[in-house]
Copies of this chain bind each other. A is one copy, B any other.
Amino acid sequence: MFNAQGEPHVTTNHIADELEISPGNLYYHFRNKDDIIEQLFARYEERMDAALATPSERLPGLEDIWLQLHLIFECIWDYRFLYRDLVEILSRNRRIRLRFARILKRADDSAHAVMRGMGQAGVMRATADELAATATNILVIATFWLNYAAARGDKDEQIAIRRGIVQVMMLVAPFLRDAERVHLNTLTQAYLD
């Protein structure tokens, strides 16, 4: 319901209705609306933590990154209500704020690790500054891509997700070795059709 209508438009009464229980009963199971959000957030957190885990021992190839981005974007999609009203939700709840900041930190580390791995594999070349800036840009694009799609008025949201993944890949592309940049281009073309 949060995803479909936006968290601000879903009241506790709506939730109780949907569950076919009384509002009173709902408040027996949850302290308040924020508690509901917090428990949903816990599931989101677990899922995103899993998606951010370094996927394998060996050095990452383009396909590994592609897969990981998929997991991340699917997670964002499934909890898009968090992202839609992110600042508002975080401003209301200190605990969620801290936990989301931790996720961002972890995502930043993960992006760094993946790109470092590509550097070691000789596939990517970037200075430390470029690496840091790119990691940050990856986070911002991933975090707010759905909002951007909504603001632009995009209808088909499944295509929007694909575009988001491509968009993140394009952040890394300039630092790739020629062979891999061509490879990425092939992947991208096939993916957007």
Give the interface of A toward B (CB within 8 A). Answer: 6, 8, 84-88, 90-91, 97, 100-101, 104, 129-130, 133-134, 136-137, 139-141, 143-145, 147-148, 150-153, 166-167, 170-171, 173-175, 185
- In the assembly, what is the distance between CA of A88 and CA of B144, in Å? 14
Whether A134 pairs with B170 at a CB distance below 8 angstroms is yes
How many copies of this kind of chain does the complex include? 2
Whether B133 pairs with A87 at a CB distance below 8 angstroms is no
Q: CB-CB < 8 A to A147: which residues of B?
A: 86-87, 144
Give, as a whole number of angstroms, the nearest-CB distance from A161 to chain B.
14
Give, as a whole number of angstroms, the nearest-CB distance from A170 to chain B.
4
| Max chain B C-beta neighbours (<10 A), residue from A104, A139, A170, A175 | A170
Q: CB-CB < 8 A to A136: which residues of B?
A: 167
| Max chain B C-beta neighbours (<10 A), residue from A6, A134, A147, A185 | A147
Q: CB-CB < 8 A to A86: which residues of B?
A: 147, 151
Q: CB-CB < 8 A to A170: which residues of B?
A: 130, 133-134, 137
Whether A151 pairs with B143 at a CB distance below 8 angstroms is yes
- In the assembly, what is the distance between CA of A140 and CA of B170, in Å? 13
Q: CB-CB < 8 A to A145: which residues of B?
A: 140
Whether A84 pairs with B88 at a CB distance below 8 angstroms is yes
Whether A151 pairs with B8 at a CB distance below 8 angstroms is no
Whether B88 pairs with A153 at a CB distance below 8 angstroms is no
Q: A87-B6, A144-B144, A171-B137 are in contact. Are A100 and B130 (CB under 8 A)?
A: no
Q: CB-CB < 8 A to A130: which residues of B?
A: 170, 173-174
Whether B90 pairs with A151 at a CB distance below 8 angstroms is yes
Whether B140 pairs with A101 at a CB distance below 8 angstroms is no
